[in-house]
Amino acid sequence: MPSSPGAAALVCSGVTVTAPSGSGELTLLRDLDVSVSERRAVVVGLNGSGKSTFLRLFNGLVRPSAGTVTVHGTDVARDVRAARRRVGFVFTDPLSQLVMPTPVEDVELSLRGAGVPRGRRRGAALEVLERVGIAHRAEHSIYDLSGGERQLAAFAAVLAVEPDVLVLDEPTTLLDLRNRGRLMELLEGLPQQLLISTHDLGLAATAPRVLVLHGGELVADGPPRQVVTAYQGWCEHGFPQEVRP
Amino acid sequence: MSRGPDLFGSYVPGTSFLHRAPLWAKALGILAVTVAVAAAPSWPVPAALSALLLVSGSAAGVGAREWWRGLAPALPVLVLLALYHVLTAGAAQAADVVLTIVVFLVLTRVLMHTTPLPELLDGVVWLCSPVRLIGADPERIGLAVSLMLRSIPFIVGAVGELRDAVRARGLRPNPVVLVTPAVIATVAYAQRTGEALAARGFD
């Protein structure tokens, strides 16, 4: 298992996440120990397996009930602001993420939050939109954009503040094949460390490391060839922990 | 999710004199209109102001369809108000009330059409800067205003989609029955927006 905790790593140590459910508690992640230092890693798993919860830990959107989470040496619980400066989070549904009426205004909002002076924001925002290939849609309403363009706009809003790490929650789920290709091409050229959750096994196969979550536990971790094949088998015949006594 | 009714409009780049006017000049204009409407003895003043704003907005590129999209959702309320005032205070009073509302609907659309939201946000933040004295953050107030502008059409659109979903099942949409899912959709939207803002460091 390629785990090498270090300064440039995303680390979960003994992490358990629970949430209230009815009169009891639901365990979303159970005693997770994992360190990701690869430039790109992908998390796969069934719906409800804990992928999104796992990803949200690194941006402080979910707080562990037990254990610690660090991002490049920063303890997320102790300094969530610093963690959020380091980690850009891209949601599955871009409409949840875009809070301004047009892409350029949304990117400007990110730059405003990063303290970029007023006079430089528009130019910088247009530059980022150019990089992701939607500068021609910069001033259109987000409701008039296609799903792919919205995803790219949301992506641009995160890229604008140049985070060290990009966490993407199922980024290709709402995309058609062409936009999926554009996004993958874009991800390929990024210098940032990427942590991606997905059901897209083609995307998973492009990463040097794939993690499989099931029932809130890490059930496989390794290079894509073995892990993706094992995962496909488990999807058909049952997961390892399901056959445990 | 559909956009919902276009209540306020949004910025459309242009080169008209209103597009080029600085925000402070627009703010003075709004103040002047407000004072004129408040001091007006009767309906001719709001009527004249509405006409003036319609002409100015049209010169800045607000098209007939856009005017309609802004005014149509308000029509049922305007009609009800007009009827009420005609019956209780007479036609002149009804015209005064309705035209006063129309003035501000038109004014909002002209402002939104000719001013980028970030510029508006800067203005609100500047205007609210005295709240720092009581420990409040004007940036948060500015952000809240822009979120409100973005959220109202979204929520109205969500209610429209719920209504369509009920119709698609062959049922008649009952406003009382729609209240609960509409509230749930609104709360979920607020949670997602809050989460997205937190993820971007606006917490």
Q: List, for residues A181-197, the tens digit of each pLDDT value.
A: 888 999 998 999 999 99
What is the pLDDT, as a whole number, of residue B2?
A: 53
Residues of B with CB under 8 A from a CB of A: 1-3, 10-13, 116-118, 121-122, 146-147, 149-150, 192-193, 195-203
**For residue B113, pLDDT beyond 80:** yes
Q: Are A61 and B199 in contact (CB < 8 Å)?
A: yes
Q: How many alpha carbons lie under 13 Å from residue B26 in its C-beta half-sphere?
A: 24
**Better-predicted residue by pLDDT, B101 or A6:** B101
pLDDT tens readout for residues B27-77: 999 999 999 999 888 899 999 999 999 999 999 999 888 888 888 888 999
Residue A191 to residues A35, A66, A108, A187, Cα–Cα distance (Å)? 19, 32, 22, 9
A99·B147 Cβ contact <8 A: yes
- Nearest Cα of chain B lies from the Cα of A42 at a distance, in angstroms, of 20
Give the model's pLDDT for residue B3. 54
Answer whether residue B10 shows pLDDT above 90.
Answer: no
Average pLDDT over residues B85-104: 93
Strand, coil or helix: B164:
helix
Identify residue B91 by its one-letter amino acid code. A
Sort B145 into a burial class: Cβ within 10 Å, 0-12 / 13-18 / 19+: middle
**Model confidence at B110: pLDDT above 80:** yes
Computed over every residue of chain A, the mean pLDDT equals 89
Question: Is residue B112 pLDDT above 80, yes or no?
Answer: yes
Interatomic CA distance for residues B5 and A86, integer angstroms: 38
d(CA A237, CA A186): 35
pLDDT value of residue B148: 83
Q: What is the ipTM of this complex?
A: 0.75
Which helix (H) or strand (E) element contains residue A36? strand A24-36
| Average pLDDT across chain B, whole number | 87
Tokens 């910069």 correspond to what residue?
A138
pLDDT at site B164: 81
As a CATH number, domain A10-240 is 3.40.50.300
Percent over 90 (pLDDT), chain A: 65
User: Best mutation site among A107, A112, A120, A140 for testing chain B: the one with the most B CBs within 10 Å?
Assistant: A112
Q: Which of A81, A122, A143 lies at the smallest CB-CB distance from B201?
A: A81
Characterise A218 by phi-psi region: left (phi > 0), alpha (psi -120 to 50), beta (else). Answer: beta
Considering only CB atoms, B192 lies closest to which of A60, A96, A109, namely: A96
pLDDT digits (tens, 9 = 90+) for A42-100: 999 999 999 999 999 999 999 999 999 999 999 999 999 899 989 999 998 888 788 88
Q: In a mutagenesis test of the A interface, which of B1, B6, B10, B152 is the best target, namely the one with the most A β-carbons within 10 Å?
A: B10
pLDDT at B13 over 80: yes
Arithmetic mean of pLDDT, A106-111: 91
The predicted pLDDT at position A244 comes to 42
Q: What is the pTM of this model?
A: 0.79
To the nearest whole angstrom, how far is the Cα of A225 from the nearest Cα of chain B? Answer: 33
The string of pLDDT tens digits covering residues A192-219 is: 999 999 999 999 999 999 999 999 999 9
Check pLDDT > 70 for residue B5: no
